[in-house]
Amino acid sequence: MSNKTCPCCQHQTLVETDFRGHEIDVCRQCGGMWFDHHELNDVLSAYDNGHDDVDFNALLGEPLGQVERACPCCSKPLLGYHLLKEYHVEIDVCHDCEGVWIDQCELKEVKESPRIKDALDQLNKKVSRGSWIFQFLTMMPVEYNVKPHRTPWVTWSLIALNSVIFFAYFLDFELTLKVIDQFGSRPADFATGTNWWGPLTATFLHGSVMHLLGNMYFLYVVGDNIEDALGHWRFLAVYLLCGLGAGLISVLMNWGSTIPSVGASGAIAGLFALYMLWFRHASLTFMVFVWQKKLSPVWYFAIWLALDLLGMIIGGDGVDHWAHIGGFFFGLAVAMMLKDWVFERNPLLTMLSSPAAKLQR
């Protein structure tokens, strides 16, 4: 039994407990923990966070002043701090004893603080000259998001498969017509019970090099993070479901049309919805003429959806807007159904999406 008193309960005696191989003091009433000199550094270094020697004091944000809690060792008032500069969970520190008090509800954030700091550093990166040149020349967005822990084998395989299929037929004009006729999604054929596989197989066909490059780039941007959150096989299943859902919605909304539709756009539009809902802490750059701005996925895909709706109203551009819009809302339904499951298995996403995380744009 320790002779230290809980700073929170103020009358409960702390109990010495083994935590990750280190002796710390715990309050059995409120669940708070007291870490003496260097104990917290040693505990954090024991976690698989990519750091061999964590300096917790170096992670702290700005001081918030004295709090109405006393140090269990020297009885001096504790000082409140934000856990990180841009992560506003409050913890209490005694600089005289170099001890740290952590409430039970804050423990998860403290344990993950090195990873949270790395993630915030990635998310808060400023646009650069290189990103501006890239977007100006390609008109493609630059992504700012947490690096995935899994190697995105399925994303890379889908990109390779789409590319191989495309170049297997595209250099032969007659073969291109035959492939699109046989495997494209033509609503009139589906209505008569022929080529019923079209809504799915059309997902792996593209009409031009730029069509392929654009779709594969967006698959590369959003696919790795979604695959990391879902796992390889679940990601593949969701991708195929979004492609099929987008294709079926396109068929229903263009019923009787003899114009074939091809492209992975509908499946990728479904991934846009998952990315928007699960990675709202990320940023994608948007460029107007020469002005580049980081936007949250919500704003970025809201603009994308508005432009798609405008294109559908104007018409005549040869784009299957219903596949895009249908895929997006199909993906949104999937994202909402799986959100709790994904966040439960990816605690870093939950913590970064909390109001405590302060992100710059």
What is the identity of the amino acid at 159? I
Q: Is 80:66 a contact under the CB 8 Å cutoff? A: yes
Count of CA atoms in the C-beta half-sphere (13 A) of 120: 23
State mean pLDDT over 311-325: 86
The predicted-structure confidence for 231-281, as pLDDT tens digits, reads as follows 999 999 999 999 999 999 999 998 888 899 999 999 999 999 999 999 988
Phi, then psi, of 334 in degrees rounded to 5? -65, -45
Q: Is 78:4 a contact under the CB 8 Å cutoff? A: no
State mean pLDDT over 297-318: 89
Q: How distant, in Å, are the alpha carbons of 54, 106, 286 from that of 351?
A: 20, 11, 26
DSSP class per residue in 110-161:
HHTHHHHHHHHHHHTPPP-HHHHHHHHHH----EE-PPPSS--HHHHHHHHH
Cα 18 to the center of its chain, rounded Å: 35
Supply 18's token pair: 């083994």
Q: Is 201:261 a contact under the CB 8 Å cutoff? A: no
The predicted-structure confidence for 17-44, as pLDDT tens digits, reads as follows 887 677 888 998 999 999 887 777 776 7
**Residue among 109, 50, 121 at smallest CA distance from 100:** 109
HEC assignment per residue over 64-81:
EEEEEEECCCCCCEEEEE
Q: What share of the chain is helix, strand, coil (3-state, %, to 5)?
A: 50, 15, 30
| End-to-end Cα distance, the chain | 49
Residue 353 has pLDDT above 90, yes or no: no
pTM reported for the whole predicted model? 0.86
Torsion angle, CA of 199/201/202/205, rounded to 10 degrees? 170
The pLDDT of residue 107 is 84
Give CA–CA dist 340/278, Å, rounded.
10
The confidence band for 189, taking pLDDT boundaries of 50, 70 and 90, is confident
The confidence band for 2, taking pLDDT boundaries of 50, 70 and 90, is low
Count of CA atoms in the C-beta half-sphere (13 A) of 32: 20
Tell me, which fold does domain 124-352 have in CATH? Rhomboid-like fold (1.20.1540)
Give CA–CA dist 227/230, Å, rounded.
5
The pLDDT of residue 45 is 66
Count of CA atoms in the C-beta half-sphere (13 A) of 320: 37
| Percentage, residues of the chain above pLDDT 90 | 57
What does R_g of the chain's alpha carbons equal in angstroms? Answer: 26
Q: Where along the chain do its domains lie?
A: 15-113, 124-352
What is the identity of the amino acid at 55? D
